[in-house]
Amino acid sequence: MNAAPDSLRTDGAAIDGTWRTGAGAMLPVVNPVTGAEILSFPAAGIAQVDEAVASARRALPDWRSTTPAERGACLRRIAEQVRDARGQLEALQRLCNGKPAAEARTDVDDVIATFAYYADLCERGAGLAPQAVALPDASAGAQLQYVPLGVAALVVPWNFPMVTTAWKLAPALAAGCTVVLKPSELTPLAEIALIDIVLRSGLPPGVVNLVCGAGAIGAALVGHPDVAKISFTGSNATGQRILQASGSRLQRVSLELGGKSSLIVLDDADLDAAVALAVGGAFYNAGQMCSATSRTLVARPLYEAFVERLVVAAQALRHGDPADPAVDLGPLISAAQRDGVLARIERGLADGARLRCGGRALDGAGGFAVQPTVFTDATHADALWREEIFGPVACVQPFDQDADAVALVNDSDFGLVASVASTDRERAQRVAAQLEVGTAWVNLPQLVFPQTAWGGFKRSGLGRELGPWGLQAFQELRHVISAR
Cα gap 65→387, rounded to integer Å: 46
Neighbours of 480 (CB within 10 A): 11
Residue 418 DSSP SS3:
strand
User: Any bridge partners for residue 357, and if so which?
Assistant: 374
Cα gap 292→81, rounded to integer Å: 31
Q: Sort 270 into a burial class: Cβ within 10 Å, 0-12 / 13-18 / 19+.
A: middle
Is 212 in the active site?
Answer: no
Angle at 284 between CA 292 and CA 411, to 5 degrees: 10
Catalytic member of 103, 185, 256, 465 = 256
Is 74 in the active site?
Answer: no
Cα gap 236→250, rounded to integer Å: 20
Cα gap 346→99, rounded to integer Å: 26
Q: Sort 86 into a burial class: Cβ within 10 Å, 0-12 / 13-18 / 19+.
A: middle
Q: Sort 154 into a burial class: Cβ within 10 Å, 0-12 / 13-18 / 19+.
A: buried
Catalytic member of 96, 177, 212, 290 = 290
Residues with a known catalytic role: 256, 290
